[in-house]
C-alpha cells in the first residue's frame, strides 16, 4: 500500500488503493454508507456535510457512469462540483498535472476525484497536494479502483455478512482489471473464505500479483459451489490477446449463463462492475435475473462515494 | 397516442407526445406555467418543488438551447441536474440505452429528459422505466417535441385565448419537423378554428399525417388573414430535397417577409422554434419586428418545462 | 475605453476593458474582493448575494482554468451557473451571436461571461443586451482580459500597496497578449511608478499601443531593480515569428531564471497568468520559488471574479 493515504494516526488522508487498507477504516466507511442509505430510505435527499467544499472531477479517461456517480454523491452531500474537462488528456502528465492540481487548490477546491489511464496518477497527485485537499482514485490504469472494490464488498456484505464462510469467484480479463485488483484486496482484508480467479491464460497476471487466490482454469469448476461470481468486462480489443477467435468462443468458455450459474450455490450472487457486454461475458438472462446484484452495485456505489467523500473531507 | 404516458387514472406519467393528450392535462400544465410565470414576475427566483429529485439531460443529439432550457427549469425548481454526455451517441440504442436508463435509475435519478434522432426513443425508455422515474421527450426524430408544442400553444394563448376563432398557418419543412407535428396535435386539441399547412411538395408528409389541416400550396394564400404564422427552420441540407435551387429561391416562395405579413391579420403573431435562419425562412425585419413572439416563446419555454417537471415529479 | 461599460452615473454596467476605467471603480472592486477574501479566511464558504441570478459561461475559445474560476466564483456567490457549450465556435459571430444572447436573455439569464478569439466580441454583445443582463469579458483576441488585469494589480497591491514607488516589468509576447494590455491599463490607472516592457522585436506592438511604458530590449536591464516581473506565456506556434530558433534560445534571452531574478529588487514578486511553460519563459526554480505569486494570483482571481459578478449583478 502507498503510505501517502494514511495519516500518522492511521486515519484516511486520501483514497488511492485498497491494498493493505486497515480493516477498521473499511468498516468505518461501510458504517457511514449504511447510515446514508438508511437516511435515504427514510426520505432524506440531501446532506450538508460537505457544504463549503468543492469537489473536482478530474477525468483524463472518459467514464460517464463513474463520473456521474461521484457527481451525484458530491451534490447530495452538499458540495459544489466542478467537472474539469481535459482537452488533450493523453499529454497531461508530470509537471502539467501538478500545476493543474496546484491551480485548482489555489482556487480552494479540496476534493479531487481522479481517473487516468496510467498507473499511479492518483498517488502521484496525492503526493503533491499542498493543502488539506484530498485525492480519491477513480481508477488508474490496471492498478486500482478502490471505490469499486468497496462497493463490491459492501454489496456482498449486505446479503452475506459472514465473509469467512463465503467462496467468491472473479472471472474474466483479470490482467487489465483494476476492479479485480481492488476486489481481491478488500475481500481478503475482510477475511473472505475462498477467492477463486478464472481467466484466459493470456489475460491472467503473474501469480505473485494474486496472493491468497486460487487460480482455476475451467470456469465450470470455478463457479461450482460459489456464493458470488464477479464477472469482469471484456474490452473487445483484448479478445485477440486472449487467443479467443470470437465473442461466441469467449462466451462459451468464460461467459456466465444460466447453466453455469446452476453449478453455484443456489443463492449465488451475480455481480459485474458494468457496463456489461451482453452475451460476451454474461448472458442477458443472468444479468437481468433474480440473482443479479448489478444494479444494486450501482446504487450502493453512490452511497459508498458519499461515505468516502464525507470521511475524507468532513473532518468528523 | 402512446398509452405509456398516462396512468390508469388519466394522470400524466411521462410526456412523450401531444397526440391525444387530454385537454384537461394541457390546461393543467398551462395553469402551472401561469403560476410560475406570475411568481417570477413578482420576484420569486427559485422553488423547492423538486428538492431531492435528480434530473438527467440525456441528449443523444446536440441541442444547446433546449438542453439549457431544461437545465434552467430543473435548477430553478430545486432539482439536482446531471448533464450526461454521450460519447458515440449514434450507437446508443436498444439494450445499451436500457442499461443506461437502469443504471441511472439505480443512482436514484428520477427525471429523464431525452433527445434522440430516432423516432420513438423516449417512448422506448418510458416503457422500460422500473422506478417512479419519469421520461420527458425533448425531441425524437421527426415524431414529436411535446414541450415545444406546449410552449407554442401557451404563447399563442397568452395573446389570443379564443382559439375557436383563430386561424394559424404553419410553413416550411413539415416533413422533417417534430415541432410541426406537436403543434398540430396541441392546437387541434385546444380547438383551433383553422389550421393551415404550407410546404414545398417534397417537404410535405402524406395527407393522413395531417388530419384536420388545410393544405395550401401558395404561401401568400396561406398567410392571408392568418392570426399567427409559425415558421419552421429549414435544415440547409434538405434544400435539395425541396427542389429549391438556392436559399434565395426558397425565401422567395416560402420565406416570411414584411410584404407577406401584411396579408395576414393586422395583429398576426410571428412564431418560430429557433434557431432562425435569417433571410432563408424569415426576414430579419419580421423576426425582430413588433409582431414577433419568437423570444417570448423561448421565455415561456422555461416556464412550460418547469411546469412539466413539477407535474411529473412533484406528486401534487 | 468603450462607453458601453459605464452608466450615465459612471457606475459599472458591463466589464469589457480596463482602458480608462475610473480608479474609484477599480478600488471599489478591490474593496469587495478584500471583504470576500476576509470572509473566506474567517470560514465563510458561500454567499447569497447572487441568489436568483443565472450566470452563463459563453466560452468560444477553450479555457478550462478561467472558466473554472468564473464557475466557482458564481457558485460561491449563490448564482445558478450554465456552461453553454458552443459546437462550431469559429462560425459563431454576428447575428448568430446576437440571437444566442437574446435567446439566453429570454430564458432570464443575466450574467454573461464571454471569451472569444476575435477582438471586440464582449463589447459587441454588451451593445446588444436588451435586459438588465451584464457582460463580462473573459478575454477577446489580443485586446483585453480585464479580470486578469484586476487580479494582477490586486495581487501586487496585497504586497506592495504603494504603487507610485513601484517598478514593474512585463516580459514576453506582448503583441498577442490581452493580459499585457489589461495589466498596462490598470497599473497606469493606479499610478504605477515605472512600467517596463520587454519583448522580442517581432512580438512587440506599435509604440502608440504602449503609452507610458518604457520599452527595453535587454531583459537583464529590464529586470534590474524591478519590484515585480510579470512573465507572459509564449504560444509555441509564435516562436517562429519571434525569430527565435528554439525554446532554449528564447529562454536564454527572455526567460526568467534565478540569475536574472537576483538583478531585481530583493523582494521582487514573480507573476504569470498561467499556465506556465516551464523552462521556456520561466525557470521552475523561479516559478515555484519564494518570490513567486503565481498561485496567489489564481487564488485572488476567484475573489476578484466574485467581486465583479457582485458589483455588476447585485445592485448594491
Rg (CA), chain C: 19
Whether residue B80 and residue A72 make contact (CB cut-off 8 A), yes or no, is yes
Task: Pull the grid cell for residue A167.
Answer: 467462496
Helix (H, G, I), strand (E, B) or coil at A37: helix
* A224 has binding-site annotation: no
Query: How many helices (H) and strands (E) in chain C?
Result: 11, 9
- Of B124 and B315, more confident: B124
Helix (H, G, I), strand (E, B) or coil at A18: coil
**Position B87 pLDDT exceeds 90:** no
Mean pLDDT of chain B: 94
Residue A288 binned pLDDT confidence (cut-offs 50, 70, 90): very high
pLDDT in tens, B248-283: 999 999 999 999 999 999 999 999 999 999 999 999
The C-alpha atoms of residue A109 and residue C298 are separated, in whole angstroms, by 12
Q: Is C167 exposed, middle or buried (0-12, 13-18, 19+ CB in 10 A)?
A: buried
Mean pLDDT of chain A: 94
**Percent of chain A scoring above 70 in pLDDT:** 97
State how far Cα C138 lies from the chain centre. Answer: 8
**Helix ranges restricted to H, B77-205:** 94-106, 121-128, 146-159, 178-189
Residues of B (249-278) whose Cβ lies below 8 Å from C: 274-276, 278
pLDDT less than 70: residues of chain C: 1-2, 87-91, 242
**Position B294 pLDDT exceeds 70:** yes
Contact C4, C312 (CB under 8 A): no
Over residues A264-291, mean pLDDT: 97
The C-alpha atoms of residue A41 and residue A302 are separated, in whole angstroms, by 14
pLDDT in tens, C21-44: 999 999 999 999 999 999 999 999
Q: Enter the DSSP assignment of B290.
A: T
Complex ipTM, two decimals? Answer: 0.95
Residues of C (73-112) whose Cβ lies below 8 Å from B: 80, 82, 84-87, 95-96, 99, 102-109
Residues in chain C with CB shorter than 8 Å from the CB of A105 are 295
Strands, DSSP E only, in chain B?
54-59, 80-84, 111-116, 134-140, 167-171, 194-198, 214-215, 228-231, 269-271
pLDDT in tens, B147-179: 999 999 999 999 999 999 999 999 999 999 999
Instruction: Using a CB–CB cutoff of 8 Å, tell me whether A62 touches chain B.
Output: yes
pLDDT for B315 equals 78
pLDDT in tens, A117-165: 999 999 999 999 999 999 999 999 999 999 999 999 999 999 999 999 9
- For each of the domains in chain B, give its residue range(s) and CATH number, in order of start: 2-144+298-313 (3.40.50.1370), 146-294 (3.40.50.1370)
Annotated binding site of B: 65-66, 93, 115, 145, 148, 178, 233, 274-275
pLDDT in tens, B122-146: 999 999 999 999 999 999 999 999 9
**Position B64 pLDDT exceeds 90:** no
pLDDT for A119 equals 96
Contact A144, A181 (CB under 8 A): yes
Q: Name the nearest CA neighbour of B177 among B125, B220, B119, B128.
A: B119
User: Which residue carries 454576428 as its cell?
Assistant: C94
**Position A66 pLDDT exceeds 90:** yes
pLDDT for A95 equals 87
Q: Is A162 exposed, middle or buried (0-12, 13-18, 19+ CB in 10 A)?
A: exposed
Give the H/E segment covering residue A111.
Answer: strand A111-116
pLDDT in tens, C175-219: 999 999 999 999 999 999 999 999 999 999 999 999 999 999 999
Residue B88 binned pLDDT confidence (cut-offs 50, 70, 90): low
Contact A214, A199 (CB under 8 A): no
Give the H/E segment covering residue A269.
Answer: strand A269-271
Cβ pairs B/C, distance under 8 A: 48
Over residues A38-45, mean pLDDT: 98
Using CB atoms, list chains with 3+ pairs below 8 Å to chain A: B, C
pLDDT for C245 equals 79
Q: Which residues pair with B81 in a beta bridge?
A: B55
pLDDT in tens, A198-241: 999 999 999 999 999 999 999 999 999 999 999 999 987 777 77
Whether residue A106 and residue C76 make contact (CB cut-off 8 A), yes or no, is no
Residues in chain C with CB shorter than 8 Å from the CB of B278 are 95
Amino acid at each position: 500500500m502507498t503510505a501517502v493515504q494514511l495519516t500518522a494516526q492511521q486515519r484516511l488522508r486520501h483514497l488511492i488503493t485498497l491494498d493493505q487498507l486497515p480493516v477498521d477504516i473499511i468498516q468505518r466507511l461501510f458504517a457511514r454508507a449504511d447510515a446514508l442509505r438508511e437516511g435515504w430510505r427514510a426520505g432524506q435527499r440531501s446532506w450538508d456535510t460537505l457544504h463549503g467544499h468543492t469537489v473536482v472531477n478530474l477525468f483524463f479517461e472518459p467514464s460517464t457512469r463513474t463520473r456521474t456517480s461521484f457527481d451525484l454523491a458530491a451534490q447530495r452531500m452538499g458540495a459544489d462540483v466542478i467537472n474539469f474537462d481535459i482537452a488533450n488528456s493523453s499529454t497531461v502528465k508530470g509537471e502539467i498535472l501538478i500545476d493543474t492540481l496546484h491551480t485548482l487548490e489555489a482556487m480552494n477546491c479540496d476534493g479531487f476525484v481522479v481517473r487516468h489511464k496510467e498507473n499511479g496518477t492518483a498517488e502521484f497527485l496525492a503526493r503533491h497536494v499542498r493543502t488539506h485537499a484530498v485525492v480519491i482514485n477513480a481508477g488508474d490504469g490496471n492498478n486500482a479502483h478502490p471505490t469499486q472494490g468497496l462497493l463490491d464488498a459492501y454489496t456482498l456484505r449486505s446479503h452475506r455478512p459472514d465473509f469467512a464462510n463465503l467462496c467468491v469467484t472473479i472471472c474474466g480479463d483479470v490482467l487489465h482489471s483494476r476492479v479485480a485488483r481492488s476486489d481481491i484486496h478488500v475481500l481478503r482484508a475482510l477475511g473472505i473464505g475462498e477467492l477463486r480467479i478464472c481467466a484466459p491464460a493470456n489475460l491472467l497476471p503473474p501469480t505473485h500479483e494474486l496472493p491468497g487466490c486460487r487460480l482455476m482454469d475451467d470456469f465450470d469448476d470455478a463457479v461450482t459451489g460459489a456464493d458470488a461470481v464477479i464477472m469482469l468486462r471484456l474490452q473487445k480489443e483484448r479478445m485477440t490477446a486472449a487467443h479467443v477467435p470470437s465473442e461466441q468462443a469467449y462466451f462459451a468458455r468464460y461467459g456466465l449463463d444460466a447453466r453455469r450459474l446452476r453449478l453455484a450455490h443456489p443463492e449465488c450472487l451475480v455481480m459485474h462492475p458494468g457496463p456489461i457486454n451482453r452475451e460476451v461475458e454474461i448472458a442477458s438472462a443472468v444479468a437481468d435475473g433474480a440473482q443479479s446484484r448489478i444494479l444494486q452495485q450501482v446504487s450502493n456505489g453512490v452511497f459508498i462515494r458519499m461515505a468516502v467523500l464525507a470521511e475524507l473531507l468532513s473532518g468528523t
